[in-house]
Each structure stands twice: as structure tokens, then as C-alpha cells.
Structure 1
Amino acid sequence: MNEEDRQALLDQLHDVQLPELSAWPAAGWWLLLLSLILLVIVAMLSWRRYQARSWQREAFTELQRLRDQVVSQPTNSTLADCSRLARRVLLAVRSRSDVANLQGKAWLEELDSVCQQPLFAQGFGRLLEAGPYQRDPQISQNDLESLFDALEELVRSAARRQPTTTR
């Protein structure tokens, strides 16, 4: 092979043709972006649900505090705290205007409607009606425990009835 043949062969070679750069990123980057967006959406929805249920966690904490302090606190004070807790739970699922004027039997019946069972108007919830206002109510420990159980059911029922969006 002489010099002319080599030069002829070299002249037949063309430069490497690089593909044009695309304005679109590779598909993997789009999938990563989509995954991140979905992750952010799921995290936001989870946070909203967690925040919407904060009243329920607070109610259970308060109820446990009442159970723990029942022996060291006067009975009428315990009943007053139970009454306040029941009203706050009711405010979590009903509007303030609906709850503000309720008293006596109507209030207990509204608590029953949240529970969907007669725990208050016909059960141990009746202790909330007059007990907080008596000087020294004679209520057994078992009756108080039954009232605490009714309040626990009230919190659970109210949580099932409340929508998970924030208010």
C-alpha cells in the first residue's frame, strides 16, 4: 500500500456524527421527579391526617390523666373534668353553635348520638349531669371506671365520625 492509497482511504473516512442534544432530560430523571412529587403529596396528606387527629390524642391523654388521678382528686372535681372533656370531644365533631346551648338531658342525648349507643342518657354518663355540682357525691370506683369507659367510647366514636381533613 503506497502513500496515495492510504491517503485515499483516509479521505473516505468521515467525522463521527454526534446526535443532537435533546431538550428533554432522560426518562429516568422524569421518573425520579414524579416519584419525588408523589412522595411530597403523600407526606403532606399524612401530616394533615396526623394534625386532624391531634384532638383525639389529647383527649386520650387527658382521659388517662383523669384515670390516674381519680384517687387523689375529689370526686366532684373528677366529674367536672370528665364533663369538660366530653364537651371538648363533642366540639370536635359538632359546630360550636350546636353544642353551646346543650345542657342536661339534651346534652347527654347528643353524646349518645355521637356514640350511637345509650352510654350517657341511660348509662353511667348520667353522673355528668349533677355529679360535678354536688358537694360530696357518693360514687363508687366501679361507677367512675364505667364513666371513663363511656368517655373512651365517646372519643373513639367521635374520631370515626370526624372527617380527616383539618378544620
Structure 2
Amino acid sequence: MNAQDPKLSTPQASQAADPLAQLQDIHLPPEIGLWPPAWGWWLLATLLIVCIGTLIFLVRRHQTRNAYRTLALKELNRIHKHYSLEQNAEYLQEVSILLRRTALSGFTSQFNASLKGGAWLEWLDQQCPKAQQQFSKGVGEALLTGPYQKNPEFDRAKLHKLCEIWIKEHRNQSQQTKKIKTKQEAKGV
């Protein structure tokens, strides 16, 4: 076999002798698209939607249950601005009515509207520990006799602050129910 043999010098013959020449380029798979996402992303999206929905529900329920507090605070501030310092008896009467209306709104089935005198003030203290007994043993006592006096003497700023604290911080009916259930669970009932 001569190196000059025409059969071996053709390009086809040289390809047959070189196996690497017969290989084709590597075909890459198509790029992975963003859609549709993997099942883990669907699960995460569902969980996120459920969490956001639950959060919105809880916030709205809290706002609905406590809307009466916002209205009562606005009314308390209106009363405070409306009555001058010479109209203390009228001021005390309006504040007392406002506290009763607030109690009726927050404690629809548990509030005894016939409470009067010291029992009424003690009830106010019981519903708001932050009041620190100031209704029955402090400035709140003016609510008992003040509306019936011509010109009662009391610290109006302290009473206003006390009523503001009570409206903001008292435990309403739904909070009372949770507390009772927690105590029963602790006892094992």
C-alpha cells in the first residue's frame, strides 16, 4: 500500500481513520423556563396567601371588636373640650353616661346596667387593672356625687386621664371569655 494510494487520500478515508472527526457537537437541553413553577413554589405561594388572609381577618376582627373604644375616646375628648371649667357637674354627668355606654358596648351580655354607687365604681376598677382602684378610691369618686353638686371640686385632668385609660385598657367581653377558658384549661376542667 502506497502512501500515494488514491483511495486513502480522499477526505472520506481520512474521516474513517479518525473517529473523533465523526463526533457531532453536544446538544444542550432547552433552558428551564420560569413557568410553570415547581410544586414547592406553589406550596409557598399558597402558604403566603393563607397567612396574609389570616392576618387581614384578625386585624379586621380586632378593629371591629374595638371600634366602640375609638368612638368613646372621641366622645370623651369632645366632652372635655365642650364643657368649661365652670361646668363641672355637667362634665361629670356626661363622663358617667359615656362610661356606661362604653361598658354596655364592650360587655353586652355580662354588664349589669343597674349597678349604682360604689358598686359601679368598683366594677370599673375590676375591669381595668391599670386604673389602680382610682375610680372607687381616688379621683373617680367624683362621679358619684359630683353630678348632683352645684360646683363639685375634683382634678379634671386626672379624671380625664383615668377615663381615657379605662376606655383604652379595660378587658371587654371577648377578652374575659378567653381568660376564663385559659383558667379552666389550666385547672384541667
**TM-score, normalised on structure 1?**
0.68
Cα gap change, 1:78/1:162 in structure 2, threshold over 3 Å: closer, same or farther? farther
* Residue equivalent to 1:138: 152
Instruction: State the shift of 1:96 in Å.
Output: 4.6
Is 1:74 the counterpart of 2:87? The answer is yes
Matched to 1:137, the amino acid is N
* Residue equivalent to 2:67: 54
1:153 is matched with which residue: 165, 169, 185? 165
Is 1:128 the counterpart of 2:140? The answer is no
Q: Matches of 2:137 and 2:176 in 1, distance apart?
A: 30
Q: Matches of 1:48 and 1:86 in 2, distance apart?
A: 23
**TM-score, normalised on structure 2?**
0.61
User: Which structure is higher in RCO with an 8 Å CA cutoff and minimum separation 6?
Assistant: 1
* Residue equivalent to 2:4: none
> Is the contact made by 2:107 and 2:172 (CA closer than 8 Å) also made in structure 1?
no
* Residue equivalent to 2:128: 115
Larger radius of gyration: 2
Q: Matches of 2:112 and 2:172 in 1, distance apart?
A: 19
Q: Matches of 1:78 and 1:68 in 2, distance apart?
A: 10
For structure 1, the 5+ residue unaligned runs are 2-23
Instruction: State the shift of 1:34 in Å.
Output: 2.7
* Residue equivalent to 1:36: 49
Q: Matches of 1:106 and 1:83 in 2, distance apart?
A: 14
Instruction: State the shift of 1:51 in Å.
Output: 1.4
Q: Matches of 2:87 and 2:62 in 1, distance apart?
A: 37
> Is the contact made by 1:52 and 1:164 (CA closer than 8 Å) also made in structure 2?
no
Instruction: State the shift of 1:133 in Å.
Output: 3.0
For structure 2, the 5+ residue unaligned runs are 1-11, 13-35, 178-189
Cα gap change, 1:97/1:41 in structure 2, threshold over 3 Å: closer, same or farther? closer
Matched to 2:153, the amino acid is I
